[in-house]
Homo-oligomer: A and B are copies of this chain.
Amino acid sequence: MAGNSIGTLFKVTTFGESHGLALGCIVDGVPPGLDLCEDDLQKDLDRRKPGSSRYTTQRREADAVKILSGVFEGKTTGTSIGLMIENTDQRSQDYSRIKEIFRPSHADYTYQQKYGIRDYRGGGRASARETAMRVAAGSIAKKYLHDHLGITIRGYLAQMGEVACPLQDWQQVGQNPFFCGDESKLDDLEQLLRSLKKSGDSIGAKVTIVAENVPVGLGEPVFDRLDADIAHALMSINAVKGVEIGDGFAAVSKRGSENRDEITSAGFRSNHAGGILGGISSGQTITANIALKATPSIEIAGQSIDIHGQTVEVSTHGRHDPCVGIRAVPIAEAMMAIVLMDHYLRYRAQCGDVQPKRYF
């Protein structure tokens, strides 16, 4: 079944393979009257872009996005917005080997088994290249949320391998190629990546996403809770294996008396919940963590089978990130923005005329 859409009112539908002619998406449900131009999208795309540091894949794509519809004289019209990025760097590689092999821990095996056919060039639809359109679409949501509601959504690398990088300074995040908010950890990160390059290995990462200024009331009871939809959106990013809201797994060993967020007339006294209560935003800052596995595309040879079932040795050379978590930051921001935008529209639909009371 159709699985290439996300959102209900703010709906993003994507297409495109790693080495096809183009990537594209349709963003439907954008309110009319939003100022929007290609530069608004390009900024985030450039942050995600491969080749933006020497530690990310060296594939060189301009990743220049075009707005094909839905914007007129600099403003959104309320009709569906078509976006496209042409694939310019489709090196005519020799795929004769990869064509018949299931790279371990890639989607090669599952795509082939499910569909009986797969576009093996660069991972086809399963390539992380697909996430470019998420970033482009997410930028529209981000801009609306910022311009109309004052919401800020941003993320940082919280950990790479054993190197934890707790946020010290948001300014710092934008000033290094790791999205790291702790300047004192930059050397450790560089050193880790260097050693991975040398050994031909890769490493996992943790990324934290923070949404500030989110109004109270976003999210639906029961199944379409805000946290559930955030979990869905973040887990849908390539390589993500875990999602936490607020304290996440740390809550397992906490008592109710430690873990609850007391309220006083001055506001909440803590935010263990990560800004969501009963599936609905509380007005506090929303925080989420994601765990990304190390890419299996490494030089160290490993065993796998080919499409005939024969055991083969596989190792990956060429342009690949030793840590895919680095580039996940703008992608995860985009997913958070898409979910919040969708829930904001849902909120308007059902509760648009309810006036929340201002307590703090």
Contacts and interface: CB of A to CB of B under 8 A. Distances in A.
Given A206-B249, A260-B302, A309 B117 contact: no
Interface stretch (A47-55, A179-187, A274-282): A274-282
B259 A204 contact: yes
For the complex formed by this chain, how many copies does it contain in all? Answer: 4
A174 interface: no
A330 interface: no
A235 B243 contact: yes
Interface in A103-135: 104-107, 109-111, 113-119, 124-126, 130
A253 B294 CA distance: 9
Contacts of A56: none
Interface size class of A (residues with CB under 8 A): 35 or more
B277 A17 contact: no
Interface string A237-251: 010111111111111
Interface string A26-61: 101111110000000000000000000000000000
A350 B31 contact: yes
Interface in A301-360: 302-305, 307, 309-311, 345-357, 359
A295 B13 CA distance: 33
B221 A125 contact: yes
A26 B289 CA distance: 32
A79 B15 contact: yes
A272 interface: yes
Contacts of A310: 265
Contact of A16 (B68, B115, B281, B351): B68
A229 B84 CA distance: 27
A29 B2 contact: yes
B4 A15 contact: no
A254 interface: yes
Interface string A75-87: 1011111101000
Given A10-B2, A15-B82, A292-B251, A104 B260 contact: yes
Contacts of A105: 259-261, 272-273, 277
A309 B265 contact: yes
A141 interface: no
A9 B1 contact: yes
A212 interface: no
Contacts of A25: 26
A285 B294 CA distance: 21
Contact of A223 (B5, B124, B295): B5
Given A242-B245, A256-B298, A351 B4 contact: no
A231 interface: yes
A173 B190 CA distance: 47
B109 A282 contact: yes
A326 B347 CA distance: 33
Given A114-B354, A116-B356, 17 more contacts: A1-B346, A2-B9, A4-B79, A13-B13, A14-B80, A14-B222, A15-B80, A77-B125, A79-B125, A80-B222, A107-B278, A114-B216, A231-B234, A236-B279, A241-B248, A242-B243, A257-B302
* In the A-B complex, the 10 residue pairs with the closest CB atoms: A107-B278, A3-B220, A3-B224, A202-B256, A15-B82, A2-B28, A232-B232, A110-B280, A231-B235, A114-B217
